[in-house]
Amino acid sequence: MVTEYIVPIIIFLFIGGAAGVALTFASRTFEIESDETVNQILSKLPGINCGACGLSSCEAYAEAVRDGVFAPNLCKPGGIESAQGIGEVLGIEVIPGERETAFVHCAGVTTEDKYIYAGTKSCVAAGRYYNGKGNCKTGCLGLGDCADVCAYDAITFKNGAAVVDRQRCWACGLCVYACPNNLISLRKHSERVKVMCKSCDTMKETRAICGNGCIACNACVKKCLTDAIKIEDNCAVIDYEICTSCGVCAMICPVKCIAVDGYKRAAANLNELNPNASKEVLPM
């Protein structure tokens, strides 16, 4: 009885006690000093290590903010909360950057594919063969390199083109680098009017391959109330410094390739989005 139960229990208690003493000793002697400020900043960050701030991890960014190397409002996924939280920790006033969302400048190619693609499911791989299976050389390849890197599952596919969910996207920018056709850009939420095409083909060429493509017809340039739109390389480009997001361009665009806040058919949605603007604008 004694040798079977009591002695093993005493041995294990002894080993446990000795290990406890050794561990306590080790943790005191080999202690790495962790900065309390860094830990506090880290608790305000989302902790997904997306790299949008320019550093490889949230911890590295927290250290850089403490040292004053990086600005405290650079965490895009954290947004306003992170910026204000860091401000409280450091005791300074931080002006939070405006929330941004990734935007895909393509509404999907409307013509049939050139060929059936049976290779690796990756835009980079498909783009190596005749610019992808679609007819447009600048359009969305639709195989989901952007969706693969997205940490928030914010990218879905509609009409063969990627669509970003505004609620889910936190503008980390990983998809911007993943897209081989450079179709994705980060846009502030106040920049509500976007051109859904990057085609640099002429009107005739674009008309032949896509019903959604910008045909550089100059209609938006003429009707813009603030002269914020220019045609560069056969594609409309909006100057967001001047743009007032009134939505006239989206209404008159003959191919409906200008979107207001992600809605493609802007004319139908203009009333509910901006009732005051629509009354002034519609008589035109």
Partner 1 sequence: MRTKKLDSPGPVIISMVQNIGAPCVPVVKPGDYVQTGQLIADSDSFVSAPVYSSVTGKVLEERFILGINGNLEKTLVIEPEKNEILCEKIAPPVIETRAQLIEAVRKSGLVGLGGAGFPTHVKIGYDSEKFNVDTLIINGAECEPYITSDYREFMENSGDVIKGIKLIMKLCAIPHAIIGIEKNRPIAVKLMRELLETEKNIKVKPLPTNYPQGAEKVLIYNTTRRIVKEGQLPLSEGCLILNVSSVAFIARYAETGIPLISRRITIDGNIVNKPSNYLVPVGMTLGELMKKTDLRLQPDRIIFGGPMMGKSVYDLDTPVCKTTGAVLFFKDMPEYRATSCIRCGKCLRACSMNLMPTEFEKAYEMRDLKRLRKLRVNLCMECGSCSYICPAKRNLTERNKLAKDLLRKEL
Minimal distance, residue 141 CB to partner 1, in Å? 11
Between 14 and 130, whose beta carbon lies closer to partner 1? Answer: 130
**What is the spatial distance between Cα 146 and Cα 36, in angstroms, rounded to a whole number?**
37
The interaxial angle of helices 58-66 and 79-90, nearest 10 deg, is: 40
Select from 1-9, 71-79, 116-124, 235-243 the region that touches partner 1 (CB under 8 A): 116-124
147 binds partner 1 (CB under 8 A): no
In the list 60, 71, 90, 124, the residue contacting partner 1 (rule: CB under 8 A) is 124
Interface stretch with partner 1, choices 68-76, 84-92, 118-126, 182-190 (CB under 8 A): 118-126
| 273, HSE (Cβ side, Cα atoms, 13 Å) | 22
- Residue 181 CB neighbours (<10 A): 20
Among 119, 202, 239, 242, binds partner 1 (CB under 8 A): 119
- Burial label, 114 (beta-carbon count in 10 A; 0-12, 13-18, 19+): middle
- Scanning 55-63, 101-109, 119-127, 186-194 for contacts with partner 1 by CB under 8 A, the matching segment is 119-127
Determine the size of the site formed for partner 1 (CB under 8 A): 14
Q: How crowded is residue 115: how many other Cβ atoms within 10 Å of its Cβ?
A: 10
Q: Which stretch binds partner 1 (CB under 8 A): 60-68, 130-138, 186-194, 214-222?
A: 130-138
Q: According to the binding rule CB under 8 A, does residue 137 interact with partner 1?
A: yes
Expressed in percent and rounded to 5, the helix, strand and coil fractions of the chain are: 35, 10, 50
Report the candidate in 261, 252, 253 with the shortest Cα–Cα distance to residue 235.
Answer: 253
- Residue 57 near partner 1 by CB under 8 A: no
Q: Which residues bind partner 1 (CB under 8 A)?
A: 114-115, 118-120, 122, 124-125, 127-131, 137
